[in-house]
């Protein structure tokens, strides 16, 4: 009984590990076609769903139709073969198998690598038009626009949240008396508990137009998205920073006061240096949150694939791409979405882990 | 003199920041109450979304979060027990602790994509079980963390006393340690439940949302948060109003749960 119980608890604990590892593996596997196709270029490519024409080897028109028919007939075979044989590079295997079939028909011709490549990618989308098309095309997906959007909205959020959160944290721990601090502290924590979709809705109908009336531009924009994000993470950041500030020993503060230091000097010279690691850690964790936030941003960032040239222009961020485009995607665009998801996941895991490791480790 | 002035300004600024934070809370809540209560009526609680009500959404959200908790709470508590009672101070336990913290802050939309890939794709359409799985993944690390923290507050003497009278360890854990940490763990569970009640992103394409009463969990299941997201951008004023009403109810429920959790903890301290 005792043994059984112990094993059961151990299995439960391992669940956390299993889920995390499974997430990485599943995301990687589903993203792999996109990773192989676009590589690291994905991060700096700003085109999403743009059809790109690739120069094609010269094939006589009559042959092209014939070859298209062959491709049509051989593709399913080739696909099933690659699936079962488990070769590392499906595109390559596909080509060679198609080659084999063609040569066994004694019908040797220049088989265009790219056309087969294309068939392989977009089989469920429009393989027919691809077969009959003369020029070979492929649809390019690049993540630069949402990645830049995410980075900038997070920066705006941090610029807003850090000063306000620090102000609140200092107010709660050093300025307000216990009664006021407990009331305002609870209020701030309630602000943190409000579901993110509520922030998004509020921003869409009230905050966005309000910001647009001050700064001009659209009521859905990078700026509005960043500010909403900032408002959303600030209670979280304030609560964590307050806890860090509260770890400063009273003796240190009292000796500074005894030397005649003002409150501001105590805060600046005693508390902040002492609680520095905890405060930086709380900022980085909040940054990780802001980066991955979906619903607060989805309403107000605009959701269009375009770089924002001004902060008041609409753009898109990684989580919003995932939220908006997932339902209508299939084939390569789906793989590209998983690629984005994997990038987001890895970046946020690294962010959080480094915050934990470098800054929050020594906390009791 | 200058020092005192700077001090005054700094304190004033800091107070202003706190007021600003409260201002945002007030703005959001007042907006919600005004817009939400305008569409609130007994009618919406007795009809499904197909007839412009939110009954099925309330039910659906509750079922999804409830079933996710039904799986997540036992697993999470067991994991917490392992970390604190069996594996404490081992490398494996601290490794799991770190992972669980990382998972707690992982973007919720990514968890949605993960569940989509392993459940929705094989099944072929959005379904209630996928939504439950996504919420379970969201909830698990929170429960693990709370249980771990709360058990660490139980004094070691209690464990020793139990051991000394010859009780087996699992007996000590169930009848002494868990009882001592009961209130703290309850609070954590309430907060975790409140958190997944308000989640939208992991449900977007796992459970989806349906306008009918969810008949079966293997079909697309109604979800309040996803429906709020869909309704809020509709051109129809009435549907937007309905979204506000749903948002108000959701927020009140989440905030009430949070206050309840806080109240429990306070009661214990007295």
Q: Across the interface, do B254 and A337 touch by the CB < 8 Å criterion?
A: no
Q: In this predicted model, what pLDDT tens digit does every residue of B17-57 receive, in sequence order? A: 889 988 988 999 999 999 999 888 888 888 888 888 888 88
pLDDT at B80 (0 to 100) = 92
A–B interface: beta-carbon pairs under 8 A: 257
Angle formed at CA A314 by CA A309 and CA A318, multiple of 5 degrees: 100
On chain B, the residues whose CB falls within 8 A of the CB of A295 are 200-201, 225, 229
In the prediction, which pLDDT does A151 show?
93
Predicted pLDDT at A361: 65
Two tokens at B269?
Answer: 């301290």
Nearest CA in chain B to A190: B255
State the Cα–Cα distance between residues A39 and A31, nearest whole angstrom: 11
pLDDT tens-digit map of B104-115: 888 999 999 999
Instruction: Assign domain A144-359 to a CATH class.
Output: mainly alpha
Residues B57 and B123 in one domain: yes
A78 vs A326, more confident: A326
Per-residue pLDDT of chain B (270 residues; tens, 9 = 90+): 788 899 999 999 999 988 998 898 899 999 999 999 988 888 888 888 888 888 888 999 999 999 999 999 999 999 999 998 888 788 888 889 888 988 888 899 999 999 999 998 888 888 899 999 999 999 999 999 999 999 998 888 888 898 898 888 888 888 888 888 888 899 999 999 999 998 898 998 888 888 877 678 888 888 899 999 988 888 888 889 999 999 999 999 999 999 998 888 777 655
The answer, for B38 touching chain A at a CB cutoff of 8 Å, is no
Is residue A75's pLDDT more than 70?
A: no
Per-residue confidence (pLDDT) for residue B263, from 0 to 100: 86
Give Cβ neighbours of residue A38 (< 8 Å, ≥ 6 apart).
Answer: A45, A140, A141, A142, A336, A339
In this structure, are B9 and B112 located in the same domain? Answer: no
Q: Using one digit for the tens of pLDDT, what is the confidence trace for A145-157? A: 899 999 999 999 9
Give B 135-154 residues with CB within 8 A of chain A: 137, 140-141, 144
Asked if A171 is an interface residue toward chain B (Cβ–Cβ < 8 A), one would say yes
In this structure, how many other beta carbons lie within 10 angstroms of the beta carbon of residue A46? 16
Do A85 and A93 touch, CB atoms closer than 8 A? yes
Q: From residue A93, how far is each of A17, A79, A99, A252, B238 by CA, in Å?
A: 35, 9, 10, 70, 56
* Average of per-residue pLDDT values in chain B: 89
Task: Tell me the percentage of chain A whose pLDDT exceeds 90.
Answer: 30
- How many angstroms away from the CA of B77 is the closest CA of chain A? 8
pLDDT of residue B166: 87
For testing the chain B interface, which of A2, A4, A7, A9 should be mutated: the one with the most B CBs within 10 Å? A9
If asked whether residues B65 and B145 sit together in one domain, one would say yes
- Distance from the Cα of A137 to chain B's closest Cα (Å) equals 27
In a mutational test of the A interface, the residue from B109, B136, B203 whose CB has the highest number of chain A CBs within 10 Å is: B109
Q: Do A201 and B254 touch (CB under 8 A)?
A: no
- Is residue B142 domain-shared with residue B245, that is, in the same domain? yes
Token pair for B90: 């081992």
* B172 in contact with A, Cβ within 8 Å: no
Tell me which residue range forms the domain holding B158.
Answer: 43-269
A257 contacts chain B (CB < 8 A) = no
B21/A188 CB distance under 8 A: yes
Residues 42-71 of B with CB under 8 A from A: none
C-alpha separations of A279 from A162, A253, A344, B137 in Å: 10, 18, 24, 28
Residues 6+ away with beta carbon under 8 Å from B237 = none
Query: What pLDDT score does B47 carry?
Result: 84
Q: Which of B79, B110, B200 sits opposite A13 (nearest CB)?
A: B79
pLDDT at A108 over 90: no
- B87 to chain A, any CB pair closer than 8 A? The answer is yes
Q: What is the CATH number of the domain that holds B119?
A: 1.10.3720.10
ipTM reported for the complex, 2 dp? 0.90
Query: What is the count of structural domains for chain B?
Result: 2
B210 in the same domain as B258: yes
Same domain? For B84 and B141 the reply is yes
Contact check, Cβ <8 Å, B81/A193: no
C-beta atoms of B106 and A353 within 8 A: no
pLDDT band at A134 (very low <50, low <70, confident <90, very high): very low
Give tens-digit pLDDT for A186-218: 888 888 899 999 999 999 999 999 988 888 778
Tokens (6 digits) for A134:
């003369």
Residues B55 and B32 in one domain: no
Q: List pLDDT tens digits, range A209-250.
A: 998 888 877 888 899 999 999 999 999 999 999 999 998 999
Closest to B17 (Cβ–Cβ): which among A167, A206, A295?
A: A167
- In this structure, are B131 and B17 located in the same domain? no
Q: How many angstroms separate the Cα of A251 from the Cα of each of A247, A256, A258, A364, B182? A: 11, 9, 10, 18, 35
Q: Are B267 and B184 in contact (CB under 8 A)?
A: no
Q: B90 and B9 in one domain?
A: no
Task: Summarize pLDDT for A266-297 with one digit per residue, the tens.
Answer: 998 999 999 988 899 899 989 998 998 888 89
Residue A53 Cα distances to A50, A136, A141, B113, B251, angstroms: 10, 6, 14, 31, 50
List the single residue in B with minimal CA-CA distance to A357: B98
Distance between CA atoms of A71 and A118, rounded to whole angstroms?
A: 11
Asked if residue B13 and residue B78 are part of one domain, the reply reads no
Write down the pLDDT at residue A51: 74
């Amino acid at each position: 009984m005792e043994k059984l119980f112990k094993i059961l608890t151990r299995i439960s604990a391992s669940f956390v590990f299993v889920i995390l590892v499974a997430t990485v593996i599943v995301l990687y596997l589903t993203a792999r076609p996109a990773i192989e196709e676009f590589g690291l270029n994905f991060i700096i490519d700003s085109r999403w769903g743009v059809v790109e024409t690739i120069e094609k080897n010269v094939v006589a028109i009559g042959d092209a139709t014939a070859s298209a028919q062959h491709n049509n007939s051989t593709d399913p075979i080739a696909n099933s073969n690659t699936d079962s044989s488990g070769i590392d590079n499906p595109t390559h295997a596909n080509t060679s198998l198609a080659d084999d079939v063609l040569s066994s028909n004694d019908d040797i011709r220049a088989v265009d690598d790219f056309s087969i490549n294309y068939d392989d990618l977009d089989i469920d989308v429009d393989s027919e038009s691809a077969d009959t098309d003369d020029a070979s095309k492929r649809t390019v997906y690049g993540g630069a626009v949402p990645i830049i959007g995410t980075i900038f909205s997070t920066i705006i959020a941090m610029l807003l949240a850090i000063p306000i959160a620090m102000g609140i944290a200092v107010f709660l721990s050093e300025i307000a008396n216990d009664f006021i601090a407990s009331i305002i502290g609870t209020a701030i924590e309630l602000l943190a508990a409000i579901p993110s979709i509520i922030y998004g809705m509020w921003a869409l109908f009230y905050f966005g137009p309000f910001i647009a009336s001050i700064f001009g531009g659209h009521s859905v924009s990078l700026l509005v998205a960043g500010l909403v994000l900032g408002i959303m993470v600030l209670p979280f950041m304030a609560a964590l920073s307050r806890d860090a500030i509260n770890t400063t020993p009273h003796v240190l503060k009292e000796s500074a006061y005894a030397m005649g230091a003002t409150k501001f000097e105590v805060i600046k010279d005693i508390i902040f240096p002492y609680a520095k690691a905890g405060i930086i850690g709380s900022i980085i964790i909040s940054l990780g949150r802001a980066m991955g936030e979906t619903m607060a941003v989805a309403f107000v960032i605009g959701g269009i694939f375009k770089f924002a040239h001004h902060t008041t222009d609409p753009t898109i961020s990684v989580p919003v791409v995932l939220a908006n485009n997932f339902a209508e995607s299939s084939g390569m665009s789906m793989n590209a979405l998983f690629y984005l998801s994997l990038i987001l996941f890895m970046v946020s895991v690294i962010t959080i882990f480094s915050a934990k490791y470098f800054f929050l480790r020594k906390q009791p | 003199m200058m020092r005192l002035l700077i001090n005054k300004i700094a304190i004033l600024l800091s107070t202003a920041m706190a007021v600003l934070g409260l201002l945002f809370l007030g703005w959001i809540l007042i907006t919600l109450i005004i817009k939400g209560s305008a569409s609130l009526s007994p009618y919406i609680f007795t009809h499904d979304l197909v007839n412009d009500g939110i009954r099925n959404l309330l039910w659906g959200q509750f079922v999804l979060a409830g079933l996710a908790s039904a799986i997540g709470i036992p697993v999470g508590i067991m994991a917490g027990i392992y970390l604190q009672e069996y594996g404490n101070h081992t490398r494996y336990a601290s490794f799991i602790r770190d992972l669980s913290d990382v998972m707690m802050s992982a973007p919720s939309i990514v968890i949605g994509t993960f569940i989509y890939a392993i459940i929705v794709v094989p099944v072929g359409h959005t379904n209630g079980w996928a939504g439950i799985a996504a919420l379970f993944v969201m909830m698990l690390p929170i429960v693990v963390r709370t249980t771990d923290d709360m058990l660490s507050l139980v004094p070691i003497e209690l464990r020793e006393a139990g051991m000394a009278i010859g009780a087996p360890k699992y007996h000590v854990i169930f009848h002494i340690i868990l009882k001592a940490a009961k209130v703290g763990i309850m609070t954590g569970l309430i907060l975790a439940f409140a958190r997944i009640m308000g989640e939208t992103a992991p449900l977007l394409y796992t459970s989806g949302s349906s306008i009918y009463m969810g008949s079966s969990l293997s079909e697309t299941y109604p979800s309040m948060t996803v429906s709020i997201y869909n309704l809020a951008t509709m051109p129809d004023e009435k549907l937007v109003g309905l979204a506000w009403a749903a948002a108000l109810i959701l927020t009140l429920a989440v905030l009430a749960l949070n206050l309840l959790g806080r109240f429990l903890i306070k009661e214990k301290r007295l």
